[in-house]
A and B are shown apart, each in its own frame.
Chain A
Amino acid sequence: GAGVSQSPRYKVAKRGQDVALRCDPISGHVSLFWYQQALGQGPEFLTYFQNEAQLDKSGLPSDRFFAERPEGSVSTLKIQRTQQEDSAVYLCASSLRRVTGEQYFGPGTRLTVT
């Protein structure tokens, strides 16, 4: 079956532009996570959804970052007024279970802010 897909795979934005990153999780997976990975670092947690409910957004670095999952499947991570420090790979993961389950990651979206 299909894994987690993300689009676009690459995005170049001028500083100040808004961007939207899409994640299609594995069908039926309850949990969805967003992570940010800076160059040479491990991924860092941004936010977590259980179905359509955003239960943890403690990792979002600023109020310019917003995520939604309105129907409990596809999720969008939006970054407003992008800054150069937002340049990173944004990873989406989904899990069948609510807790402690194996997470399946997508390939990521590489965002470059110029």
Chain B
Amino acid sequence: DAKTTQPNSMESNEEEPVHLPCNHSTISGTDYIHWYRQLPSQGPEYVIHGLTSNVNNRMASLAIAEDRKSSTLILHRATLRDAAVYYCILLKAAGNKLTFGGGTRVLVKP
């Protein structure tokens, strides 16, 4: 199975954008790129997912490299509530179980 690589942690200032990178150099053509986040003492929460094209929703944007070997989750204006662990996960089109790695811990400074 293809794996993802993320930095352990990142810091951001409140109201500034946050760019979270994810490398997945062995991604296959049927792998969707999913992002979940986990706030302290809560279960994970779905953020966004995509296959080839960039995606936007109310929470974030997902920018996918043309070769699909990497992607970036973009939080446009970080708030204190965005402090969480962010997980980049590959999921096949016919798959369902999520394989979480270590994720990136995001700290937002006021």
Contact A100 B100 (CB under 8 A): no
Q: Range of interface residues on chain B? A: 20 to 34
Q: Name the one of A45, A104, A108 contacting B46, with C-beta atoms under 8 angstroms.
A: A104
Contact B32 A100 (CB under 8 A): yes
Interface centre among A31, A35, A59, A103 (most CB of B within 10 A): A103
Interface centre among B32, B43, B49 (most CB of A within 10 A): B43
Given A42-B87, A42-B101, A100-B32, decide whether A105 and B45 contact each other with a Cβ distance below 8 A.
yes
B98 CB-CB contact with A under 8 Å: yes
Tell me which residues from 39 to 74 in chain B have a Cβ below 8 Å from any Cβ of chain A.
41-46, 49
Contact B100 A43 (CB under 8 A): yes
Question: How distant is A14 from chain B, measured CB to nearest CB, in Å?
Answer: 25
The stretch among A64-72, A78-86, A91-99 that forms the contact with chain B is: A91-99
A101 CB-CB contact with B under 8 Å: yes
Contact A100 B94 (CB under 8 A): yes
Question: How distant is A94 from chain B, measured CB to nearest CB, in Å?
Answer: 11
Given A42-B87, A42-B101, A100-B32, decide whether A48 and B96 contact each other with a Cβ distance below 8 A.
yes
A44 CB-CB contact with B under 8 Å: yes
Given A42-B102, A42-B103, A105-B45, decide whether A33 and B97 contact each other with a Cβ distance below 8 A.
yes
Contact A48 B43 (CB under 8 A): no
Question: How distant is A62 from chain B, measured CB to nearest CB, in Å?
Answer: 19
- Tell me which residues across on chain B come within 8 A of A35, comparing CB atoms: 98, 100
B108 CB-CB contact with A under 8 Å: no
Q: Name the one of A42, A43, A91, A99 contacting B96, with C-beta atoms under 8 angstroms.
A: A99
Q: Which 7 A-B pairs have the closest CB atoms?
A: A105-B43, A42-B100, A45-B97, A102-B46, A105-B44, A43-B100, A99-B96
Q: Residues on B close to A: CB < 8 A?
A: 32, 36, 41-46, 49, 85, 87, 91-103
Subset of 9 A-B contacts with CB under 8 Å: A31-B96, A56-B97, A59-B97, A99-B94, A100-B92, A103-B36, A105-B43, A105-B44, A106-B43
Q: Residues on A close to B: CB < 8 A?
A: 4, 31, 33, 35, 41-45, 48, 56, 59, 91, 93, 95, 98-108
